[in-house]
Structure 1
């Protein structure tokens, strides 16, 4: 990821995108985004890590990525790939508290969630 994507990241833009497209993107994408966002917000995370996260979240926010996001499932597959790659790269910065906060927010938005969906993300990245 590079600077052209990180310039599209802002917390306001991210929340706007999640509010508008979160249900369409699905719980796995939203959970991955939340993990990255809460890691980005952690004061103990290095600037280098935050730049990587900003680029990945900027890519998610950008409406003109590799595959159009208007198509459910397929449209967010490239986003999920970028998010998972970044989660793997920053995994050592993701605390149990961050994971719990992301899980709680995902449950607020989606209600009952099959725990395997969130575990799939955790198992692919941690």
Structure 2
């Protein structure tokens, strides 16, 4: 899951507007302070993002990630108090490192 998540983020971060939310959710899901039921829901949403089987295949430009975004945003709305400013700060740092990384 971890490798698949980072591989997907690296290949799609420039194309998806919810990259920061996805990474913040990832950090919250692996944070031991996050309650187990919250972690499970976040991991399920992230697995949907990572897995190749999708309602709308990600190969379609623009609309391909709408279902991924919808699932992640729904889970984030339900669990918003558990994805903390710390998780978002770590997500912004990770995105900055990805953008500054030579390919």
Larger displacement relative to structure 2 (90-99 or 43-52): 90-99
Stretches of structure 1 that go unaligned for 5 or more consecutive residues are 1-9, 112-126
Tell me the equivalent position of 1:52. Answer: 41
Q: Secondary structure at the match of 2:80?
A: helix
Compute the RMSD of aligned alpha carbons.
1.5
Distance 2:2 2:27 in 1: 11
Partner of 2:14: 23
CA–CA distance in 2 between the matches of 1:72 and 1:110? 20
CA–CA distance in structure 2, aligned partners of residues 97 and 109 of structure 1:
18
Q: How does 1:1-126 map to 2 (within 5 A)?
A: 10-24=1-15, 26=16, 28-110=17-99
How far apart are the structure 2 equivalents of 1:105 and 1:70?
A: 24
Which segments of 5 or more consecutive residues in structure 2 lack a partner in the other structure? none
Could you tell me the TM-score, scaled by structure 1's length? 0.72
Structure 2: how far apart are the matches of 1:63 and 1:22?
A: 16
TM-score (norm: length of structure 2): 0.86
Cα deviation for residue 102 of structure 1 reads 1.0
Which of the two has greater helix per residue?
Answer: 1
Between the two proteins, the alignment pairs up a number of residues equal to 100
Residues 44-89 of structure 1: CA deviation (Å, up to 9, x unaligned): 1111011101110110011121111011211001111111111111
